[in-house]
Amino acid sequence: MRQIFLDTETTGLSPEGGDRLIEIGCLEMVNRRMTGNNLHLYVNPERSSSEEALKVHGITDEFLADKPRFADVAEQLLAYVADAEIIIHNAAFDVGFLDAELRRARRDAFRAHVAKVTDSLLMAREMFPGKSNSLDALCRRLEVDNSNRTLHGALLDAGLLAEVYIRLTRGQDSLVIEAGGASSAHGASGTEPLLSLNTFTLHVVAVSDEERSAHEAVLIDLDKASGGKTVWRRVA
């Protein structure tokens, strides 16, 4: 399964009011492993950022002056996201800007080019109702290090979103980047033989009362986080 974490930066908050994209950051994950096949684009918006937006992303007009216009990178972006699941935090905002840019480039709406769009903000609201579910809040709650996020940046925020998504979906605790392509049935170099587990003596360690209590506390937290949707109590 190919998934892409996407984030944008813009000149302001309103595509209907003429605000434009200035940065697009995308990270690719295949079968829950980050591939390193990422896409990072700066775009000349042909207008200035609002003062408020500039305080958020810090990307100046001077920096963007020699960057390509969206129409010049539209094909590259659409080829990259084609047929993938796109995961965005507050998807309505980013997709709204992408659709506005695609209309100017006389292309179909963003969702027409991808398999689906998943909004991680809606996922978080369902999992943590009544709590702040901004990306920063989720980083704190899920223990994702966002100490480098002094300013917003599309690629940085897409990376934080990927870490948050992994924790939200409970598939694993951290991201793994493939260093040398697809994994092999042999060792990392493809030449080392597999070890037989029959050569090891496995020691069974009894669980202490303290460890059992800590495990039970984790199960209770998971049950609360899922809104009571866990099944192990019923199975037991």
The verdict on residue 97 lying in a domain is yes
Pair 67, 17 in one domain = yes
Longest dimension (CA), the chain: 68
> How many separate domains does the chain show?
2
The verdict on residue 184 lying in a domain is no
**How many whole angstroms separate alpha carbon 156 and alpha carbon 8?**
10
The verdict on residue 154 lying in a domain is yes
What's the start-to-end Cα distance of the chain, in Å?
32
**Catalytic residue chosen out of the listed positions 113, 152, 203, 215:** 152
The CATH number of whichever domain residue 154 belongs to comes to 3.30.420.10
pLDDT 10s per residue in the chain (236 long)? Answer: 899 999 999 999 999 999 999 999 999 999 989 999 999 999 999 999 999 999 999 999 999 999 999 999 999 999 999 999 999 999 999 999 999 999 999 999 999 999 999 999 999 999 999 999 999 999 999 999 988 777 788 999 999 999 999 999 974 444 555 544 443 333 444 444 555 555 555 566 777 888 888 888 888 877 777 777 777 666 65
Do the bridges between strand 21-30 and strand 39-42 make them parallel or antiparallel, or are there none, so unpaired?
A: antiparallel
Is 152 among the residues known to form the active site?
Answer: yes
The verdict on residue 9 lying in a domain is yes
CA distances from 102 to 13, 70, 89, 97, 112 (A): 17, 8, 20, 9, 11
Pair 130, 52 in one domain = yes
Which residue range forms the structural domain that includes residue 108?
2-169
The 10 Å Cβ neighbour count of residue 5 is: 28
Pair 101, 204 in one domain = no
